[in-house]
Structure 1
Amino acid sequence: MKITILSDTHLPKKGKGFPDELISDLKVSEYIIHAGDFQTVDTYNRLMEFGEMTGVAGNVDDEELKEILPKKTKLVLNGMKIGIVHGDGSGKTTEKRAEEAFNADPVDLIVFGHSHIPYLRYHQGVVLFNPGSPTDKRRQPMYSHGVLTIEDESKWSIQHKFYS
């Protein structure tokens, strides 16, 4: 199973559309995960055209999105437990806030966003993954998103895709 992971699209504020590199992965993915800051319901709806998606609300999402999307959620795909949260808040690092969001609900992978900084780290039995942003790289050298491939709960891989 191939899953495209993205966050912090910030459309239409940060661009007119999705980059070709992201669209290529979206077209062949079986599932999409978005870790918040779509910006608008239109962006959410455009992503849904590519297939089934689970997303969470981010701090800059409009009120309509905040009403339909949770702040955090958990899903199971091919036996793998995945936690999704945007990661915004005060105090601590974005990574620490994301990790603490699932302290009481064990997962294999935590997908988060907010910082726009690509991040992949194994910490205390859990993989923490921030895909970066495909449309708003801020001070990062490249745009990015992620691809998760799952065979089963014990055999999976995750990676960033980088582009300019």
Structure 2
Amino acid sequence: MEHIIGVLSDTHIPRFKALPEALWHHFANVELIIHAGDLSVLAVINELETIAPVVAVQGNVESDEVRRKLPLKRELVIGGCRIGIVHILSPDSAPRRRTEDEARLQAARREFPQARCVIFGHTHVPYLRQQDGLLLFNPGSATDRRSQPTCTIGRLYIEDASGDPRGEIIPL
């Protein structure tokens, strides 16, 4: 069996009026939705919960109600795969980095030493890289593309038998 999880970040509602309509199509068959922060308001969780249960962390641009309710980071296990979730995966504090990829990997290992997948946001830039047994996954932003060609979301697939994670970036 394969678990399918919807992944998004940086929705910034109500600055952006609504979640994209295409999100409902792409998340129609997911069993869980992970939001990697910068929801801005809790209504985003309520809306997403009409599709599937939601696990979320707070970002750096949140209302007081979001900061009171959501943790800065969390971990969960799905199908034998330990997943770490944080909004800002800070490579700047990773020691002796040589490349941005290595810095992200070091930061992910520091924050979530047992994880096989780390989901993060903040940059609004999609990032998907499997390295040294760890999947690093930033779905980009569902509403604010900044310098990207399109807004993006993602799906995470976890093979139940092996616990192996695989990610997909979905342009909207």
- SS state of the match for residue 28, structure 1? coil
For structure 1, which segment, 4-13 or 82-91, has the greater mean C-alpha deviation from structure 2 after superposition?
A: 82-91
Contact 1:37-1:57 at 8 Å conserved across structures = yes
Gaps of at least 5 residues in structure 1 are none
Partner of 2:68: 67
For structure 1, which segment, 2-11 or 89-98, has the greater mean C-alpha deviation from structure 2 after superposition?
A: 89-98
For structure 1, which segment, 37-46 or 82-91, has the greater mean C-alpha deviation from structure 2 after superposition?
A: 82-91
Q: How does 1:68-107 map to 2 (within 5 A)?
A: 68-87=69-88, 91-92=92-93, 96=103, 100=107, 102-103=109-110, 105-107=113-115
Partner of 1:159: 168
Identify if the C-alpha distance between structure 1 residues 136 and 99 changes in structure 2 by more than 3 Å, giving closer, same or farther.
Answer: farther
Partner of 2:137: 129
Q: Count residues in correspondence.
A: 162
Identify if the C-alpha distance between structure 1 residues 90 and 67 changes in structure 2 by more than 3 Å, giving closer, same or farther.
Answer: farther
- SS state of the match for residue 27, structure 1? coil
Identify if the C-alpha distance between structure 1 residues 102 and 46 changes in structure 2 by more than 3 Å, giving closer, same or farther.
Answer: farther
Gaps of at least 5 residues in structure 2 are 95-99
Percent sequence identity over aligned pairs: 38
User: Aligned letter for 1:32?
Assistant: I
RMSD between aligned residues:
2.3
User: Aligned letter for 2:171?
Assistant: F
1:131-151 per-residue CA deviation (whole Å, 9 max, x = no partner) reads 001111111111100011222
User: Aligned letter for 2:9?
Assistant: S
Identify if the C-alpha distance between structure 1 residues 111 and 144 changes in structure 2 by more than 3 Å, giving closer, same or farther.
Answer: same
Partner of 1:19: 20
Instruction: State the TM-score, normalizing by the size of structure 1.
Output: 0.88
For residues 165 and 136 of structure 2, what CA distance do their matches in structure 1 show? 14
For residues 41 and 98 of structure 1, what CA distance do their matches in structure 2 show? 30
Instruction: State the TM-score, normalizing by the size of structure 2.
Output: 0.84
Q: Which has the larger radius of gyration?
A: 2
